[in-house]
């Protein structure tokens, strides 16, 4: 006879809970069984679950970042923009970044048969509450180790924007140039007017980006991506 009482719940698949220490396979199994959960991440084998999303401290900054990046990919065929998408980085890490850019053909990552990102996208953006956030600690280490080339963190409460660039296996903090702009090395033409972004002046952010999109570096990048896509399509025939 079973020792379970009639009132004792029986879970075929245990619920996903913050603080759980799981393998990536078990994390995915529990996550997929709980469709009501919109965001959960596995960082160094530990489960982190998002709290309710606030408007001014997350939703609005996230929207500005997506608008900036969307304007970039509209002019840059061959680059994918993804929003809150699960990334299989390694056996202990499966984050769900706020935003990311990846090179579709010839890049570091791929889209799996079951429609997840596998491998490190070239650029990741996270919206963080403050410098105390795990985005600037555990996640930063994970992204560096897995060779995310550029990692951007908007610290909303601190009114700071950190742009890290991978250099010889370490992240260096990139400062704005004399015009107050940071220019991506991995995605030519992706220019960010940092002060304008922090002040919520999205029109100025897009205007500065448009200048980057008119550069010869960006045009050459688009040409190179197009040639890679053509070559890949011919090889697949």
Q: Which pLDDT tens digit goes with each residue over 176-227?
A: 999 999 999 999 999 999 999 999 999 999 999 999 999 999 999 999 999 9
Residues 65-85, mean pLDDT to the nearest whole number:
98
Query: Domain for residue 16, yes or no?
Result: no
Amino acid 4: pLDDT: 43
Q: What is the mean pLDDT of residues 114-132?
A: 92
In a domain, 6, yes or no: no
* Residue range 146-186, pLDDT digits in tens: 999 999 999 999 999 999 999 999 999 999 999 999 999 99
Distance CA 66, CA 50 (A): 19
pLDDT band at residue 50 under the 50/70/90 scheme: confident
Structural domain includes residue 5: no
Name the average pLDDT for the chain: 92
pLDDT at 11: 54
CATH number for the domain spanning 30: value is 3.90.1570.10
| 33 in a structural domain | yes
DSSP annotation of 124 reads: E
Q: Who wins on pLDDT, 219 or 19?
A: 219
Question: Which of helix, strand or coil describes residue 225?
Answer: helix
Q: What domain range includes position 39?
A: 24-231
Per-residue pLDDT of 83-95, as tens digits, reads 999 999 999 999 9
pTM (2 d.p.) = 0.89
User: Does residue 121 lie in a domain region?
Assistant: yes
Full DSSP string of 38-66: --EEEETTEEEE--PPPIIIIIHHHHHHH
Closest CA to 23 of 91, 100, 90: 91
Helices marked H in 33-163: 60-74, 138-145
Report if residue 181 sits inside a domain. Answer: yes
Q: How many domains does the chain have?
A: 1
Asked whether residue 14 is assigned to any structural domain, the reply reads: no
Mean pLDDT within 68-88: 97
| Per-residue pLDDT at 8 exceeds 50 | no
Q: Is residue 236 one of the residues assigned to a domain?
A: no
């Amino acid at each position: 006879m079973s020792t379970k009482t009639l009132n004792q719940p029986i879970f075929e698949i245990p619920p996903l809970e913050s603080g759980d220490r799981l393998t990536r396979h078990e994390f995915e199994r529990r996550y997929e069984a709980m469709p009501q959960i919109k965001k959960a991440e596995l960082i160094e084998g530990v489960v982190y679950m998002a709290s309710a999303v606030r408007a001014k401290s997350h939703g609005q900054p996230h929207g500005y970042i997506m608008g900036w990046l969307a304007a970039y990919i509209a002019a840059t065929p061959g680059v994918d923009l993804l929003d809150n998408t699960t990334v299989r980085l390694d056996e202990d890490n499966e984050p769900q970044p706020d935003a990311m850019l990846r090179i579709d053909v010839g890049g570091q990552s791929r889209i799996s048969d079951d429609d997840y990102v596998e491998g490190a996208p070239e650029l990741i953006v996270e919206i963080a509450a403050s410098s105390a956030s795990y985005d600037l600690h555990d996640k930063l280490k994970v992204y560096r180790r897995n060779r995310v080339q550029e990692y951007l963190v908007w610290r909303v409460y601190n009114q700071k924007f950190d742009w890290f660039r991978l250099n010889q296996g370490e992240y260096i903090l990139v400062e704005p140039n004399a015009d107050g702009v940071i220019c991506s090395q991995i995605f030519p033409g992706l220019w960010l007017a940092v002060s304008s972004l922090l002040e919520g002046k999205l029109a100025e952010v897009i205007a500065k980006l448009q200048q980057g999109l008119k550069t010869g570096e960006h045009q050459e990048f688009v040409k190179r991506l197009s040639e890679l896509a053509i070559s890949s399509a011919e090889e697949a025939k």
